[in-house]
Amino acid sequence: MNLKIAFGSVFLYVLLLTSCKNDMAEVNAFFEKSSVQKEVATQVMLTYSDSGYVQAIINSDLMERNLENKEESLTFPTGIKIDFFDKLGNPTSWLTANKAVRNEKLNQVIARDSVVLIWSSGQVLKTNELRWNEKEGNVFTDKFLSFKKPNGDIIYGYGFSTNEGMTRFEILQGEGLLEFEQFEEDFK
């Protein structure tokens, strides 16, 4: 009986070894270079730091790396959330968008579609496109925007620029209704 089991085991082992052959031509045909154009990652968290300080953390449910297009090599088709920090590690602002692209050639993250930027001070910027230039350390747009102050005043305009710490900003071609006392206070 033991001889039959041993013979059966050897026969099964030999059968498995001979049946597991891969023709490399078939494998290469299956994975043609043109069919592998991007890498996909889910539940992504990217940390940007400079001189040991965390500047920003990017979170996204889906990130795709395009291996063919080096300019827009990282895309976030399902949206993005960026937390910005000061040098002490305190959060200073938060950015969300429905889509985003990281242009590696320009070192820019371009947030698009329902972009919202919120400062820890309570200010809120809404626009359809906002760019973060990692190299120069600024955030800007030339698109239409609304900027809401903590007191409820809203400024509309085209064009916006701020430093990466978002401690000072400029709205180009702006208009809106502001309380005069608050307006004077803001410029002191």
Rounded CA separation 59/56 (Å): 10
The pLDDT tens digits of the residues spanning 116-155 come to 999 888 889 999 999 988 788 788 899 998 988 888 888 8
- pLDDT bracket for residue 31 (50, 70, 90): low
Evaluate whether residue 13 is within a structural domain. no
Evaluate whether residue 144 is within a structural domain. yes
DSSP string, 32-69: -GGG--EEEEEEEEEEEEETTEEEEEEEEEEEEEESS-
Q: How many domains does the chain have?
A: 1
What is each CA distance from 185 to 178, 181, 182, in whole angstroms?
A: 11, 6, 5
Evaluate whether residue 16 is within a structural domain. no
The answer to whether the predicted template modeling score (pTM) of the entire model surpasses 0.85 is no
Evaluate whether residue 8 is within a structural domain. no
Domain CATH number, residue 141? 2.60.450.10
In the block, residue with structure tokens 């990130």:
63
Domain residues for the domain of 166 are 39-186
Report pLDDT for 85: 87
Evaluate whether residue 159 is within a structural domain. yes
